[in-house]
Structure 1
Amino acid sequence: MERPLTVLQVALHHPTQGPAAFAKVPPKLQLDTSPLLLGRGQDAHLRLMVSRLSRQHLSLEPYREQGSSLLSFSLRVLSRQGCVWVNGLMLRFLEQVPLGAVNRVAFAGVQMAICIEWGISLEAFVCCVHLSPSPLIYRLKAEETDDHDEIPPQQQPPPGGSGEQTSGSLGFLQDPSPTQDSALQPSPGGGTEIQPRREPPEEALC
């Protein structure tokens, strides 16, 4: 009896290079429980033609939590350059974070949305890749930065304001309104369908 596989629905967007950045990315691939590598190198499962990427930039790593019958996933940063934003959290080299059902990731100008559709197989999973013509992540203000250390001094929080977010960080990874959040929506037949947004605002993340 066939055991349904967990599916990672991955949407990719680059504001300047467009589909050319993802020309070498396969639309679908199946892996065992080894990490899925994303980067610029030939050994990457998802090979992105973006000069600012490392050969191995990040990995999506399946694991099984104790007492769970499903595969869970974490994102680990493999690049020593810059940083990776995951759901508004900044990660650096070798840091990792568990993924939820829907995740927004930004790195080196690339925007990525990851939706997990859980299956019952613990031996393998599938990754399906979609290219989005519209931005996947929206911000309220400030410029994106891949290097937290390069934020201009005027954007640093005032003394004593450690609890405030800086205007130069991606802590504002959120959608302006529910009506514009159409990148990841339930499909009529179940699961999740990735669709481009309508009328993205001018402040879409670069």
Structure 2
Amino acid sequence: MERPLTVLRVSLHHPTLGPAAFANVPPQLQHDASPLLVGRGQDAHLQLQLPHLSRRHLSLEPYLEKGNAQLVFCLKALSRKGCVWVNGLMLRYLEQVPLRIINRVFFCGVQMLVHIEEGTSLEAFVCCFHLSPSPLIYRPEAEETDEWESIPQKHPPPGSEEQTPGHLAFLYSPSQTRDSPLQPSHEGGTEIQLQRESPNGALC
């Protein structure tokens, strides 16, 4: 019997470029237990064509933690030029931080919400992607600090109040279907509709 995969539900938003920024993003991506690269290079597993994005900008890295029988994840910054904000913490080149169940990530104007649902497989995980027509993050560097005004802002971020639980409803939208991967949203954006079940039993 196959073991269920860990599922990363990844929501994406860009305030100015909109869905065009994510034209190459698949509805679902299954990956082995090696780092998943995000960038504009041909070797990136998740390719985004964005201004100022590095060929290898960041990676989602699964690993085994002592005393834990399931995969856990960290996010590592790989860009020498830009920085990545993760849950209010700024990462520079080769810095990394463990991910929580729900994580807010900001880079090159991209707002990314990563929700981790644990599985028992240690060999692979699956990412399910969704394009959000609404902002996901407000002032990303202020998520966990009151000193955001003193931090130099190379990329003027969009705002920073904590999202309410209602903003997470799109991760489990009942309107998601297998047959229509791309559909216009009611708010004027484009959503990638996620499949309900992967071949390995992961719900998406």
Q: TM-score category by the smaller chain?
A: 0.7 to 0.9
Aligned-residue offset at 1:178: 2.9
Match of 2:149 among 167, 181, 184: 167
Cα 1:27–1:141 shift into 2, 3 Å: closer
Q: Structure 1, residues 71-100: CA drift from partner, whole Å, max 9, x if none?
A: 000000000112110000011000000000
Question: Could you tell me how far apart the structure 2 residues matched to 1:57 and 1:135 are?
Answer: 21
Aligned-residue offset at 1:183: 2.8
Aligned-residue offset at 1:140: 9.7
TM-score of the two chains, using structure 1 as the length reference? 0.73
Could you tell me whether the CA contact under 8 Å between 1:115 and 1:184 is conserved in 2?
no
1:44 maps to 2:30: no
Aligned-residue offset at 1:17: 0.6
Aligned-residue offset at 1:29: 1.1
Name the amino acid aligned to 1:90.
M
Could you tell me whether the CA contact under 8 Å between 1:88 and 1:173 is conserved in 2?
no
Question: Could you tell me how far apart the structure 2 residues matched to 1:75 and 1:35 are?
Answer: 9
Find the counterpart in structure 2 of residue 178 from structure 1.
164
Q: What does 1:1-206 align with in structure 2 at a 5 Å threshold?
A: 1-139=1-139, 165-167=147-149, 169=151, 173-175=160-162, 178=164, 181-183=166-168, 187=172
- Structure 2 stretches of 5 or more lacking a match? 152-156, 175-184, 188-204
Q: Structure 1, residues 126-147: CA drift from partner, whole Å, max 9, x if none?
A: 01111111100023999xxxxx
- Pair member with larger Rg: 1
Cα 1:45–1:141 shift into 2, 3 Å: closer
RMSD of aligned alpha carbons: 2.7
Q: Describe the SS at the equivalent of 1:9.
A: strand
Question: Could you tell me how far apart the structure 2 residues matched to 1:132 and 1:188 are?
Answer: 12
Find the counterpart in structure 2 of residue 147 from structure 1.
none
- Structure 1 stretches of 5 or more lacking a match? 143-162, 190-195, 199-206
Question: Could you tell me how far apart the structure 1 residues matched to 2:5 and 2:29 are?
Answer: 12
Name the amino acid aligned to 1:20.
A
Q: Structure 1, residues 22-64: CA drift from partner, whole Å, max 9, x if none?
A: 1011111111101011011111111111021001100000001
Name the amino acid aligned to 2:55.
R
Question: Could you tell me how far apart the structure 1 residues matched to 2:168 and 2:133 are?
Answer: 11
Aligned-residue offset at 1:168: 5.3
Cα 1:115–1:184 shift into 2, 3 Å: farther
Q: Structure 1, residues 77-126: CA drift from partner, whole Å, max 9, x if none?
A: 00011211000001100000000000000011110000001000011100
Q: Describe the SS at the equivalent of 1:20.
A: helix
Cα 1:131–1:123 shift into 2, 3 Å: same
Name the amino acid aligned to 2:71.
L
TM-score of the two chains, using structure 2 as the length reference? 0.74
Q: Describe the SS at the equivalent of 1:167.
A: helix
